[in-house]
Chains A and B, each alone.
Chain A
Amino acid sequence: MKRFAVQDHELVPEHILLTPEEAQQVLEQYGVEARYLPKIHVTDPVAEEIGAKVGDIIKIKRKSPTAKESIFYRLVID
């Protein structure tokens, strides 16, 4: 069985795992605590693929039909 990267699928936007410093910067920029961000499960296929752990923040570069590209953040939860 061949393996294929979930992130290659056309429905899946690019997910980027943020370093703790970058994550802190994002939270300061928006003035929110991490728990108020939208969530993603640690068992999510893409989260598993990029090796995210509970508490990490994932930056998602969505392809938007209106803005072409939009940035979204999700907090990894279990």
Chain B
Amino acid sequence: MLSFTQVSHHFGTRTLFRELTLSLPESRVVLTGANGSGKTTLLLIAAGILPPSQGVVSFNQLNVADISLRRQIGISASKVNLPGFFTVTDMLAFHGRQFNCVPDCLWADYRWVNAFGLTPFLNTRVEDLSLGNYKKLSLILALMHSPELLLLDEPTNGLDDKTRSALEECFETYAGQLIIASHEPQVFASNCSVRHLHLDASGVHDR
């Protein structure tokens, strides 16, 4: 379960969250909100990669800032800049090694690479990938180590129909907690036990 306790966050003089206390026991959560409302920031804070100005975020009673929790969390967000000078293969190999999850097969035969249709781009540099292919790579990196908490920022942006279908299939079968920030509230169309949260200037509200 992901929980926020008295979390506040400011960018300069602008306050994004003020003493936010929130528990998310649901396995599927969708965050909606206008541009700049703080959806991505909330995900970065939840992943433990952006320390909040105040407060604590924990996952299964452990502070997300704890390094040991990184293996349990996967994040895909446009703000998480990937090393552009790596080829896709280098990037996957590097990431797999860091999380001890290098598959036994070739990258071309790897489950997610195949499902997302990234095989033709394995030798392409990350900085040369199109928006959609960059998103696919980012999603694969988030999924690779089978995290218990998956945080996805606009996961369907720029994806083709085939990849969208593969992603929806993934959402349906994914065993851990899945939190998605999206402008598309129907991202979990076939799943009824979804909690919808809306972010605006006054805070986070159930919808």
Tell me, yes or no, whether A binds B: no
Q: What is A's interface to B at a CB cutoff of 8 Å?
A: none
